[in-house]
Structure 1
Amino acid sequence: MSLDRSLEMSAMIPAQDLPGILSAVARGQTHATDLSREAAHALFAEWLSGHLSALAQGALWTAFRFKGESTDELLGFVAATEDSLTPLAPPSALRPVVFPSYNGARRHANLLPLLALLLARQGVPVLIHGTYGGIAADADLRLLDHDPSDRTTSGEILADLGFAPAASRHAVHDQLARHHLAYVPLDVLHPRLAAILALRRQLGVRSSVHTVIKLFNPFAGPAVRCAAVTHPPYLARMRAFFVAAGATALVLRGTEGEPVTHPRRRPALIGIEAGCEREWFPEDRTPLAKSPDLPADRGAPKTCQFIEEVLAGQRPLPSTLRDQAACLLVMSGAAPDLATACARIDHAQHPIRRRSR
């Protein structure tokens, strides 16, 4: 659907209709009424347009926080998001892999950049979007979601490795073409969505937009979306969304909310393609015989050192990351099967040279 059509649909929800919408969705989990896909699309298009008052935005944010989103509502919200976005051009014949990275690490090292580099070395285009390195003049839009002072973000780690955040859409295309890897702040990728996400700083709780940023496809063609959550009910909700959307995605219980497997214990890795689910790997429930070799702390310097040593073959790659990378290689079209994907990963370790910023 075109942006003009999206804005036309947003006119279906004038300000005087918002009380009726809020009356339907703000009755809690037991008595609330779900919106249709079309109504959800129109509502979120209006929100993205910036036409809703601060009072209405806060009310909707809180209402959906308590109610939760139905599959049709998520389909409408995500469709409105994609309609209001100028999509990125696919950089190659392979499906790009998209990682939403908005939590960072507080307790363990953030190894999402390692996973991204494993894929990029196989020629798979990898796009990570998050909150680090924003360019907006408004400090709240640069920080977007929460204060990052106690977290180590994927953007920070990649910057230390020489992959600076893209400051424009042109830079995203350039980095994907040259390195098969780009990190882009949300306020560069989708400023309208970033403005809504920034409400977290004022309202203090998460809401629908935190789910939407994990689900939307920023490319003009098919992409492999890698989506992760911490709480099982949200995992089921994301799986239902991707099945209904007929999308290609890898869904998992992430590490501290980041879309990467925990290096000590592999969660179930569920692939979704053309509306069908496939369990690539089951959850690993076996007793841990030996703790894997991991970074000394979660800070960026030690994490970068660990990543470089793994890619150089000086440290073993955690098997859980190998499994996830293999799934994504197959889903992107870079490998015909898991056995081939694993073999390519095992033979690809060589030193990484830091790039100038």
Structure 2
Amino acid sequence: MPIEPAADPARPHAFAAYLRAVARGPTLGRPLDEAEAEAAMGMILDGAVEPVQLGALLLVLRYRTEAPSELAGFVRAVRARLRRPEAAAVDLDWPSYADRHKQLPYFLLAALLLAQNGVRVLMHGIPGEGPATTPVCLAALGIEPATDVEDAARKLDQGGFAYLPLTILSPRLAELFALRPFLGLRTPVHTAARELNPFGAPCQIQGVFHPTYLELHQATQRLLGQKRAVTFKGGGGEGQRNPDKPCRTLTLVDGVPGEEVWPALAYGEPYPWRGEALEPRKLADLWSGAWAEPGPTAAVTGTVALCLRLLGRARTMEEAQTMAESLWRERRLLLAA
């Protein structure tokens, strides 16, 4: 379909200014500052841009990699349009946006173990494809997604855990995710959604797929005023520690950036992570003890240890790991209990 000419060529579209800023080449092009990025994303969310403009911005930023100022501005624009319950205290924000699992999402058990021990965890994400998506696996554990933000608040009060789909949290942002088949790749929208922290939790766990995005997320978290955060290369791009390898983490503690490298966890014979059967019921079996497997158990306790240190409940990595293993041994086998 041919592009329709502007109604008045002498008066460029308001959004064109943002495109000129980012797309004028390696010499004149520049990242948007936070205010510009917030205004640009505000126009996108409000339906005030043309499809060709939306695609142009997303692909240019993807090509040269989005800047922290751009991500922070995008997040602020989305947050300004979110509905939040008046009282929904959250301790730990847990984004889950990869959701194309090549291994079972054992991080769900880590989140639930923390919830059983007094940590209020809000997980948010967008359903993916395949037999072991986050909603499917949560259903196998007897947990249904929140139907709206008020329902999320109730679930947090009742069990300390809630999963809020992006389609409920921000339908318009979820629509932008659906552009991937048309554009052929992920866009800065996928990166920004991970930093939404919609209920303002003081702590955030952030698992990413590409190590080059570690510094980008840490810088964005600082611009957004996040108090405490841990960001690392997680299994499948999720907040799940790989126990087979040392885990480099970038941290924020009271807004101050830092770095820690957690050691690999010895647990016996290597587990076939990429070759395992993606059967969601295995998560329930691991929790109940009907299936005992050292590798997945180490993934759970290793992830919990990261969170305990993040939350300030452990002073050292060793103390955090010992505490995580103790919580796992003492877990209540009925998740609803």
TM-score with structure 2 length normalisation?
0.83
Residue of structure 2 equivalent to 1:272: 252
Question: Deviations along 1:77-111, whole A, 9 cap, x unmatched?
Answer: 1111111112345645xx52122212225432221
Change in Cα spacing, 1:297 to 1:83, as seen in structure 2 (3 Å) is same
CA contact (8 A) 1:99 1:129 kept: yes
- How far the C-alpha of 1:217 sits from its partner, in A, is 1.5
> In structure 1, which of residues 186, 196, 209 is the aligned counterpart of residue 176 of structure 2?
196
Change in Cα spacing, 1:352 to 1:297, as seen in structure 2 (3 Å) is same
Residue of structure 2 equivalent to 1:117: 112
> In structure 2, which of residues 43, 68, 76 is the aligned counterpart of residue 79 of structure 1?
76
Q: Secondary structure at the match of 1:129?
A: strand
Is 1:337 equivalent to 2:337 in the alignment? Answer: no
CA contact (8 A) 2:41 2:74 kept: yes
Residue of structure 1 equivalent to 2:212: 233
Query: Hey, what's the Cα distance between the residues in 2 that align with 1:104 and 1:230?
Result: 11
Gaps of 5+ in 2: 1-10
Change in Cα spacing, 1:184 to 1:56, as seen in structure 2 (3 Å) is same
- How far the C-alpha of 1:230 sits from its partner, in A, is 1.6
Partner amino acid for 1:227? Q
CA contact (8 A) 1:77 1:212 kept: yes
Change in Cα spacing, 1:288 to 1:27, as seen in structure 2 (3 Å) is farther
* More moved, 265-274 vs 33-42: 265-274
Query: Hey, what's the Cα distance between the residues in 2 that align with 1:195 and 1:289?
Result: 44
- How far the C-alpha of 1:207 sits from its partner, in A, is 0.7
Number of positions where the alignment pairs a residue of Structure 1 with one of Structure 2: 321
Change in Cα spacing, 1:222 to 1:157, as seen in structure 2 (3 Å) is closer
Query: Hey, what's the Cα distance between the residues in 2 that align with 1:32 and 1:237?
Result: 19
Partner amino acid for 1:188? I
Residue of structure 1 equivalent to 2:16: 19
Residue of structure 1 equivalent to 2:306: 327
Matches within 5 A, 1:106-145: 106-132=101-127
Q: Secondary structure at the match of 1:84?
A: coil
Gaps of 5+ in 1: 1-13, 133-145
CA contact (8 A) 2:101 2:132 kept: yes
Change in Cα spacing, 1:67 to 1:60, as seen in structure 2 (3 Å) is same
- How far the C-alpha of 1:244 sits from its partner, in A, is 3.3
Matches within 5 A, 1:12-91: 16-27=13-24, 32-89=29-86, 91=88
- How far the C-alpha of 1:204 sits from its partner, in A, is 2.4
Q: Secondary structure at the match of 2:48?
A: coil
Change in Cα spacing, 1:287 to 1:176, as seen in structure 2 (3 Å) is closer
CA contact (8 A) 1:28 1:63 kept: no
CA contact (8 A) 1:161 1:304 kept: yes
Query: Hey, what's the Cα distance between the residues in 2 that align with 1:111 and 1:299?
Result: 12
Q: Secondary structure at the match of 1:322?
A: helix
Residue of structure 2 equivalent to 1:254: 234
- How far the C-alpha of 1:284 sits from its partner, in A, is 3.7
TM-score with structure 1 length normalisation?
0.79
Query: Hey, what's the Cα distance between the residues in 2 that align with 1:260 and 1:27?
Result: 39
Query: Hey, what's the Cα distance between the residues in 2 that align with 1:305 and 1:293?
Result: 18
Matches within 5 A, 1:340-355: 341-348=320-327, 349=329, 350-353=331-334
Query: Hey, what's the Cα distance between the residues in 2 that align with 1:65 and 1:39?
Result: 17
Q: Secondary structure at the match of 2:247?
A: coil
CA contact (8 A) 1:127 1:183 kept: yes
Change in Cα spacing, 1:87 to 1:329, as seen in structure 2 (3 Å) is farther
